[in-house]
Amino acid sequence: MKIKFLISSLLFIAVCLQIQAQSFNNFPVTTQKPPLHGKHWMGITGKPLAATAGAMIFSKGGNAIDASCAMLAATCTMWDVLSWGGETQALIYNPKTKKVIAINAMGVAPTGATPEFYRGKGMKYPPEYGPLAATTPGTAGGLMTMLAEYGTMSLKDVLAPAMSMAEGYPIEAQTANSIERGKDEIKKWPYSTKVFLPHLGQKREAPDAGEIFVQKDLLATLQKLVDTEQQALKKGKSRKEAIYAAYDRFYKGDIAKEIARGTQEQGGLITEQDLANWKVKIEEPLMTNYKGIEVYKMQQWTQGPVMLQALNMLENFDLKGMGYNSSRYVHTLYQVMNLAFADRDFYYGDPAFAPAEPMKGLLSKEYAKERIKLIDLEKNDPKVMPGDPYPFEGKKNPYSDQIKSWGNFQASVNQNENGPGERFMKEFTAGTTSVEAADEEGWVVSITPSGGWVPACIAGNTGVGLSQRMQSFVLDAKENPFNVMEPGKRPRVTLTPSLAMKDGKPFLSFAKQAGDEQDQLLLQFFLNIVEFGMTVQESTEAPSFKTLQMYSSFGAHEKIPGGLILNEAMPDWTRKELAQKGYKLSYQPRTSGPINAIWFDWQHGSFWGGSSNHGEDYGIGW
């Protein structure tokens, strides 16, 4: 009996110690993954193999730019959940200039892509899949621009891991099963069928998990880029010039010719001239200051400013005093996000095209204070409208009358009484990946690349999967006069890397996948650390909530007024209080989303890495 008691006691103590060891401060949570630690470098992304590609580059002396480009190339080759024909958005902290810069490698609508063209095909929005969903490829150009401008290594070295994978790598179950589920769509496109369905005609036509997945056409395309770079170096060109020679071959040479030919053969619109005219943009990011922390986001052709607007409003509340995930806290954040997302849905678009978005007004602290006056602390507002930022720029709003009837332009309210259905959630949370990297020299990179996810249409014999981002345009100016499709224009996308600075130093680099979820969950992640003192790993896993009240940027562009997804761990009394405020509640076991992040521990001179307990995202540090 004494022995049994002693064993039981020891087991109890061991369990207590394990729980204590997994909770890294006073916040009462345990994490399912340990945090990452590093002194010299850190790289985190959507697949362990891709993180290994980054580690390989770091181990050869590359900086965070080199490593992030290698991870980006690997994730594209693994279709996690993107391809080489997709789009790339990045924030980079340059330790030499002490500035944060933005890389805009979003493709544009091709020649002939007009609202009239798509409406003539009976479409309310551009399609979710196929060549008519494709903007011009941006990721290849974004990768080569980042590497040329801020990296240290050759394209040959950085692409080596991805090229090895294109020769053949053991495909993981997540992607293999995604191919099998999407095979009916894949069979519409001959070049996709050739790549994705090696067992055509059998019961399972996709690769098996662990099967060696070979992409000969993609390997040949990447080899052409490396060959062009190496030939330029032999002719005496600099590293930078040689990389841009490869860039030109992709967008102006034989690769571009085959992309255009293969796309048009399958019914798409992309021309050689579209590819030749497209350019990566190096931009100034947008920023707001939240309690002494500078938070940087991409410009308004992304949804990134939503988080900045929300922080400006939330600065006026005692969030910590409300208590983490109390009904009051959830309600306050939900209402603030409603206001910010309503502005997103009406005012955001490509700043290179008229009309000019009123971003100065939208991001002003005074406008934020005016917006929060609309919040009812006792109930949800299911009919929240865009605000009027123009007076905060000293202007008159030219859309005042249009806003009065906004929201009545489409039968877009999802009426499913049982909560969000599978189709709605698939559209709302369309996935991608993220890449986070940092090094001891001070370079920091946050990337949210996307596009060309399975089931992708592959452009001819290039192995390059085309983007599906055209669906984020609107065809009717009544919905958003700033985001109406036009040739050469970038759609307003959900992709939104994040970078925060404090006391002139990097504080936090963070990003996540999953469509319209991104900024609402990144906002909660940020507040978990800043307001509630969580570690970066705790914050990536901590239960979050999701609003479904904004218009989806995908598919049928629906919304669910009052739709609120809670974590299953939410206590009954909080559920009841939120239901009384008018919310339509549904639940998920994990709600934080696949967030990847790096926190900078300046006190000890090290990095803390976090990667949430969703999917296969993880990283490596040293």
- How far apart CA 412 and CA 555 sit, in angstroms, is 11
Mapped onto helix, strand or coil, the DSSP state of residue 325 is coil
Maximal CA-CA distance, the chain: 84
> Is it the case that residue 22 has pLDDT exceeding 90?
no
Q: Which long-range contacts (CB under 8 A, 24 or more apart) does 406-409 make?
A: 406/346, 406/478, 407/383, 409/476, 409/478, 409/479
- How far apart CA 104 and CA 579 sit, in angstroms, is 41
The rounded mean pLDDT for the chain is: 92
Pairing assessment for the beta strands 88-94 and 99-105 based on DSSP bridges: antiparallel
pLDDT above 70 as % of the chain: 91
Q: Which amino acid is at 186?
A: I
95 contacts 506 by C-beta, under 8 angstroms: no
* Nearest one of 402, 420, 412, 407 to 381, comparing CA atoms: 407
> How much is the pLDDT for 556?
85
Average pLDDT over residues 488-493: 98
Q: What is the pTM of this model?
A: 0.93
Q: Give residue-wise pLDDT tens across range 503-552.
A: 999 999 999 988 889 999 999 999 999 999 999 999 999 999 999 998 99
Q: Give residue-wise pLDDT tens across range 329-348.
A: 999 999 999 999 999 999 99
pLDDT band at 19 (very low <50, low <70, confident <90, very high): very low
Place of tokens 């958005």: 89
> Is it the case that residue 6 has pLDDT exceeding 60?
no
- How far apart CA 338 and CA 382 sit, in angstroms, is 9
> How much is the pLDDT for 411?
42
Q: Give residue-wise pLDDT tens across range 190-199.
A: 999 999 999 9
- Which residue would you say has higher pLDDT here, 269 or 591? 269
> Is it the case that residue 278 has pLDDT exceeding 80?
yes
Tell me the two tokens of residue 492. Answer: 């307003």
Average pLDDT over residues 170-185: 95
- How far apart CA 573 and CA 588 sit, in angstroms, is 17
> How much is the pLDDT for 31?
87
> How much is the pLDDT for 513?
81
Q: Give residue-wise pLDDT tens across range 412-424.
A: 555 555 566 666 6
Average pLDDT over residues 124-145: 97
pLDDT band at 21 (very low <50, low <70, confident <90, very high): very low
Average pLDDT over residues 472-488: 97
pLDDT above 90 as % of the chain: 84
- Which residue would you say has higher pLDDT here, 375 or 426? 375
Q: Give residue-wise pLDDT tens across range 558-613.
A: 889 999 999 998 999 999 999 999 999 999 888 887 899 999 999 999 999 999 88
User: DSSP letters of 521-566?
Assistant: HHHHHHHHHHTT---HHHHHHS---EE--SPPSSTT--B-TTEEEE
pLDDT band at 437 (very low <50, low <70, confident <90, very high): very high
